[in-house]
């Protein structure tokens, strides 16, 4: 039977404490880098779309970067996969807004996030029979609480634990505990995995370890998917006699994920920042009359853009916007493509960075 929090185990062994130091160091470096950016919200849309894609892929909802970027600016209609990914992006942003506003994470916020993901208002599941399966093998990993009132009790307990300011464990250790507990409660009929991964990000925001949601563990989980499900299954095996060791292994897995993902995010943001500087230098040197900070930032908010975005942001005519974009094509900064009767423009180097 699933235990309520706090855990009756001390998971902060010497091995874990060393990993805590490394993970916090990498995360602090990422936070500092973001704070040094002229506009720290500039990359939020592009990076959150990438996380949305990766998180959905864990649930076997697969779309290509090209489909997603085109659908996101309404160049092509949504298919089922791009719609799911866009819902994830919207849920993440709404969750971020609510946590910043309320300075806590509540069950109602979690329910709202899941509702955006699934486009329904069903809330906590009321029908028994739910099981957690390994999406690769189909094996049953865990049978979560089945009774509606019992699920509500577990969620209430989790809410108190998330918002408990004074705790014996480092917040990054707590993140691993919270993620396991939420996955094990499995409070919804669908969307639990994606909701849980959004919860990870929001917990970092709540504890001021990040100012904006740009650390995404989904890419790490995809690369280590079998290990992820194996550890969850081991933790849920009530017959395990070495739960202390299993908790240590799970915590180490999550801390490694935070450290590795922080370093990857730092590298990614530095590459994008350097590319922005390159664009700025070239445009100012070759076409100084069309340069503006707003124009430059618009080219990096999304790897694909279109004339309407330029006219709205800069307050210029369609013809002038078209001339601006054509000049950037001649400079080799953008590539023009056509879908049906619509033209769109690709920041090729940005697209390449985001597609790695």
pLDDT tens, position by position, 203-220: 999 999 999 988 888 889
Q: How confident is the model at residue 242 (pLDDT cuts 50, 70, 90)?
A: confident
Q: In this model, does residue 16 exceed pLDDT 90?
A: yes
User: Same domain, yes or no, for 133 and 253?
Assistant: yes
- Domain stops at, among 209, 243, 260: 260
Question: Is residue 272 a contact partner of residue 264, using CB atoms and an 8 Å limit?
Answer: no
My answer on whether omega of the bond before 326 falls inside 30° of 0, hence cis, is no
pLDDT cut 90: percent of the chain above it: 62
d(CA 212, CA 76): 29
Q: How confident is the model at residue 247 (pLDDT cuts 50, 70, 90)?
A: very high
CATH number of the domain bearing residue 122? 1.10.3290.10
Q: How confident is the model at residue 355 (pLDDT cuts 50, 70, 90)?
A: confident
User: Same domain, yes or no, for 96 and 184?
Assistant: yes
3-state secondary structure the chain: CCCCCCCCCCCCCHHHHHHHHHHHHHHHHHHHHHHHCCCCCCCHHHHHHHHHHHHHHHCCCCCCHHHHHHHHCCCCCCCHHHHHHHHHHHHHHHHHHHHHHHCCCCHHHHHHHHHHHHCCCCCCCCCCCCCEECCCCCCEEECCCCCHHHHHHHHHHHHHHHCCCCCCCCHHHHHHHHHHHHHHHCCCCCCHHHHHHHHHHHHHHHCCCCCCCCCCCHHHHHHCHHHHHHHHHHHCCCCCCCHHHHHHHHHHHHHHHHHHHHHHHHHHHHHHHHHHHHHHHHHHHHCHHHCCHHHHHHHHHCCEECHHHHHHHHCCCHHHHHHHHHHHHHCCCCEEEEECCEEEEECHHHHHHHCC
- Domain stops at, among 209, 225, 260: 260
d(CA 185, CA 163): 18
User: Same domain, yes or no, for 302 and 229?
Assistant: no
Question: Is residue 16 a contact partner of residue 173, using CB atoms and an 8 Å limit?
Answer: yes
Q: Tell me, yes or no, whether 281 lies in a domain.
A: no
Q: How confident is the model at residue 65 (pLDDT cuts 50, 70, 90)?
A: low
User: Same domain, yes or no, for 313 and 176?
Assistant: no
Kindly state the tokens that stand for 11: 């998971």
Q: How confident is the model at residue 47 (pLDDT cuts 50, 70, 90)?
A: confident
Query: Left if phi > 0, otherwise alpha if psi is -120 to 50, otherwise beta: which for 213?
Result: beta
Q: How confident is the model at residue 44 (pLDDT cuts 50, 70, 90)?
A: confident
d(CA 284, CA 218): 38
Q: Tell me, yes or no, whether 338 lies in a domain.
A: yes
Q: How confident is the model at residue 63 (pLDDT cuts 50, 70, 90)?
A: low
Q: Tell me, yes or no, whether 53 lies in a domain.
A: yes
Q: Which residue has 């865990």 as its token pair?
A: 142
Kindly state the tokens that stand for 108: 């109602």
Kindly state the tokens that stand for 49: 């779309």
Domain span at residue 219?
A: 15-260
300-349: pLDDT as tens digits: 988 889 999 999 999 999 999 999 999 999 999 999 998 888 888 999 99
Q: Tell me, yes or no, whether 3 lies in a domain.
A: no
- Domain stops at, among 260, 295, 325: 260
User: Same domain, yes or no, for 87 and 175?
Assistant: yes
User: Same domain, yes or no, for 251 and 324?
Assistant: no
User: Same domain, yes or no, for 203 and 312?
Assistant: no
pTM of the prediction?
0.90
Number of domains the chain contains: 2
Sheet (strand 304-305) strand order: 304-305, 342-346, 335-339
Q: In this model, does residue 166 exceed pLDDT 80?
A: no
Q: Tell me, yes or no, whether 42 lies in a domain.
A: yes
User: Same domain, yes or no, for 307 and 216?
Assistant: no
User: Same domain, yes or no, for 249 and 294?
Assistant: no
Number of other CB atoms surrounding residue 256 within 10 Å: 15
Q: What are phi and psi of 70, to 5 degrees?
A: -65, -45
CATH number of the domain bearing residue 310? 1.10.10.10
Q: Tell me, yes or no, whether 268 lies in a domain.
A: no
Q: Tell me, yes or no, whether 280 lies in a domain.
A: no
Residue 153, C-beta contacts closer than 8 angstroms, at least 6 positions apart: 4
Residue 346, C-beta contacts closer than 8 angstroms, at least 6 positions apart: 303, 304, 334, 335, 336, 337
Q: Which residue has 């609510």 as its token pair?
A: 98
Q: What is the dihedral of CA 286, 292, 298, 300, to 10 degrees?
A: 50
Q: Tell me, yes or no, whether 274 lies in a domain.
A: no
pLDDT at position 339 is: 80
User: Same domain, yes or no, for 215 and 342?
Assistant: no
pLDDT at position 4 is: 95
User: Same domain, yes or no, for 186 and 233?
Assistant: yes
Q: How many residues does the chain have?
A: 356
d(CA 153, CA 159): 10
User: Same domain, yes or no, for 244 and 106?
Assistant: yes
Kindly report which listed range (121-135, 176-190, 282-296) carries the lowest average pLDDT score.
Answer: 121-135
């Amino acid at each position: 039977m699933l235990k309520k929090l706090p855990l009756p185990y001390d998971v902060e062994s010497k091995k874990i404490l060393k990993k805590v130091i490394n993970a916090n160091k990498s995360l602090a470096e990422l936070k500092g880098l973001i704070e040094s950016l002229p506009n720290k919200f500039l990359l939020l849309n592009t990076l959150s779309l990438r996380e949305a894609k990766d998180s959905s892929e864990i649930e076997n909802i697969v779309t290509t970067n090209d489909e997603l970027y085109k659908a996101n600016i309404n160049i092509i209609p949504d298919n089922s996969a791009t719609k799911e990914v866009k819902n994830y992006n919207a849920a993440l942003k709404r969750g971020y807004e609510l946590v910043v506003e309320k300075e806590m994470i509540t069950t109602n916020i979690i329910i709202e996030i899941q509702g955006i993901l699934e486009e329904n208002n069903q809330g906590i599941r009321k029908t028994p029979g739910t099981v957690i399966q390994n999406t690769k093998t189909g094996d049953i990993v865990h049978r979560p609480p089945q009774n509606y009132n019992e699920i509500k009790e577990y969620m209430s307990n989790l809410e108190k634990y998330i918002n408990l300011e004074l705790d014996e464990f480092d917040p990054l250790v707590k993140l691993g505990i919270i993620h396991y507990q939420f996955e094990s409660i499995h409070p919804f009929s669908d969307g639990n995995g994606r909701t849980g991964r959004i919860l990870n990000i929001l917990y970092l925001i709540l504890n001021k370890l990040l100012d904006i949601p740009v650390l995404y563990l989904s890419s790490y989980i995809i690369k280590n998917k079998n290990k992820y499900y194996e550890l969850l299954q081991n933790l849920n095996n009530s017959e395990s006699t070495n739960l202390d060791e299993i908790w240590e292994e799970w915590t180490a897995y999550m801390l490694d994920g935070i450290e590795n993902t922080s370093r990857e995010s730092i590298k990614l943001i530095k590459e994008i920042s350097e590319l922005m500087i390159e664009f700025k230098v070239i445009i100012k040197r070759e076409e100084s009359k069309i340069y503006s900070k707003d124009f430059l930032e618009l080219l990096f908010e999304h790897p694909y853009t279109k004339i309407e975005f330029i006219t709205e942001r800069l307050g210029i005519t369609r013809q002038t916007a078209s001339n601006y974009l054509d000049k950037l094509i001649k400079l080799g900064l953008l590539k023009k493509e056509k879908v049906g009767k619509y033209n769109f423009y690709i920041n090729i180097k940005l697209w390449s960075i985001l597609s790695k």
